Chains A and B, each alone.
Chain A
Amino acid sequence: MNLLPAPLRLPAIGFAAALVLGSGVFYLALDARMASKTRQLAAQTAADLAARDLRQTPQRLAQDRAQSATHAHLRAAGFLGEEDRLDWLSNLARLRDSLDLQQVSWRLAPRAASPLSPGLYSSAMVIAIAPGDARRLEQFLEQLRVHAHGHFTVRDCTLLPDSGGRSTSCTLDWWTWNGQ
């Protein structure tokens, strides 16, 4: 403190203390105000959502009634809830017999969340059938769709025609929705 003459020491300390105290209290008040603003914005958003949902309630009721048949179909088709892998794979064996295929081989990947919609999941299944011409492939996919408790789409298919017979491999995506 020798840097300052004696009469100035106390005022300088007072000034520094006022600076720190004033700034500190101001900062705390600013922090409290920002927290309050954040709460207000969240409350505003929640209120807007609630108001919008309330406004849309009649439309949602009408839409729900209109889609009730679709929803029932989805439930029956195994689109809702957990995957029924046992049923899918059991159907492969049954189709091998009914379509008189020499071999059906498959590989099923773990279920993964899909970016297409919240609560939507897909499991990739690579399947190879032999012999596998176009018509047999069509029958195989059609019967699998009819009998399996689940819904799938075909991502890609490769047909290898050769002189000794044809083989086909496809990648299927099995879709389920398990949203909360």
Chain B
Amino acid sequence: MRFGRRLLLYLSAAGASCALQRNGQLSEVQYLPSEEEGWESFNALLKAHPDTAVAIAVDSVDELYRGEILPRAWGRDRAEMAQRRLRQVVHQSPYRAALRQGHERNAATRGDRYLIMGLSNPEQIRPWLDIMHLRGSPLAGIWLLPALSANLVRRFHLRDPRLLLVSEQTGGLRLTYLESGELRFSRLAPVDGSQHENPLEGYAEEIERTRQALVGQRLITREEKIKVVLIDPLNTLNELHGFLLEAAGFQCISINRSRLQEALKLPHALLTESADALYLSLLSRAPASANLSTAEQRANSRAFWLRRGLLFAAAAWLTLSVAGVLLLLGDTWRLGVQSNALQAQAMADRARETELLAAAGGVSQIRRRLAAVAAWNAVRPRDRQPAALLDAALAAGDSIGGIQLTRLTWRNNDNSEATSLSIEGDLPAFSGDYRAAHARIAALALRLGEKLPNYRVAVAAWPLNAQSGEELEGAIGGGGIDAHFQLRVSAKP
């Protein structure tokens, strides 16, 4: 699929026009004759633009418009109801659509307003569709020409409640009635130049005839004025104003070629030869709900787009992957070059280092020597002796009468730079006088503190814990009484 490309085909009984739309711009506008010659040209066009979707606008007298008010519904119910009504109204053709046109507020006829439209003679487009089928070209949609008019009205900000658009087409004079910007009725009037000396007189007659038809359909009243908008891309309808008098109920304005080109941003040469190019340009923005395609055609189109989408996604993914892979491989190569440069630099530095250290025995010898000394420095802080602390503790114990030291434990602490000492002792001649015993132990702690000024001496356990919260029990007489104690000596912080 050529994304951003579309072939636009305008069909009428007198022939066809075709254009290529590329990124929103029309080009290659050409007239195709009717019957075989036109079909051959169309076939050649499809051959020249394979896999390009084709949108078709049909300008035919075999058309049907009918306004309907249907009960309000949503989603699938609405679609089924509209399809059912379409089958009833446009039973003779598969090309039909229900254009939803807002909500009807009248209490008596409450519901949604629809314009049911259809192409009553499908044979008109069949040869063209057959050629597309043979060429495998996807169908973007089929629209009746008047369905494109609402977009034109919006472009020119025509806000009048009743508008009659009049344009000269290949197939005749197209008269389209819109109410508040919504399509209500349209007809294609064949133009017979032989009846009038001035063909515009015939146009004026057709406009009057159309007004009568609108009155007949109760779309307007006989007295109501109607605004006639002459769509005039060829600048040939100016004199028609003279035939549409205000006294006769017409208010007439023209939109000529220059205004059309300006508003629709069309190339200058596009509208000089054919008015069909105007509607071809509007075809690119045709409302989806006015598409007359059959369900089968829509399904085929959907499958086509899905197929193309999958192929596009696959191609995009592969492209992205290849781009990513190329970027990664490029980065891999860059990193490899960097690694090689760094390795070369490291080798050069090592060689220089070896050269400088060769006289001292080489790199490894120096490393070993330095590491050995570093290890030695790590061990050296642990080089402490226990004798001084033990000696001081024993001497203090000997200096206080009635105390026997039973266990002295010296520790060379790993996690600090100091040593500690735990002293356990007993009072062998203890008679039960706890006060005197505690005084002796306190004296021992004091003496020890004097001998070891850099250490803190604390009594960890007394012979008796005299705290009021403790439960005490004992017996005096009938045996010896234990009076154990413990001191802790640790370095001052």
Interface residues of A (CB under 8 A from B): 5, 7-8, 11-12, 14-15, 17-19, 21-23, 25-26, 29-30, 32-33, 36-37, 39-40, 42-44, 46-47, 49-51, 53-54, 57, 60-61, 63-65, 67-68, 70-71, 74, 79-80, 116-120, 133-135, 137-138, 141, 151, 153-162, 170, 173, 175, 177, 179-180
Contact = CB atoms under 8 A, between A and B. Distances in A.
Contact of A7 (B303, B366, B411): B303
A60 B365 CA distance: 12
A51 B386 contact: no
A119 to B, nearest CB: 6
A80 to B, nearest CB: 6
- Most chain A CB neighbours (cut-off 10 Å) among B306, B315, B332, B347: B332
A30 B307 contact: no
20 contacts: A5-B303, A14-B314, A21-B321, A29-B332, A30-B328, A40-B336, A43-B346, A50-B353, A51-B349, A57-B356, A60-B370, A67-B369, A71-B373, A74-B372, A80-B372, A117-B375, A158-B410, A159-B390, A161-B408, A179-B372
Given A57-B357, A157-B386, A21 B371 contact: no
A28 to B, nearest CB: 8
Given A25-B321, A64-B370, A156-B411, A46 B394 contact: no
Interface in B324-347: 324-325, 328-329, 331-332, 335-336, 338-340, 342-343, 345-347
A22 B409 contact: no
Which 3 A-B residue pairs are closest in the complex by CB-CB distance?
Answer: A22-B321, A138-B387, A18-B314
A145 to B, nearest CB: 9
Contact of B328 (A32, A54, A160): A32
Contacts of A17: 314
B360 interface: yes
Given A32-B332, A36-B335, A19 B379 contact: no
Given A67-B370, A159-B408, A177-B372, A11 B314 contact: yes
Interface residues of B, number: 68
A175 B405 CA distance: 33
Contacts of B307: 7-8, 11
Contacts of A137: 386-387, 390
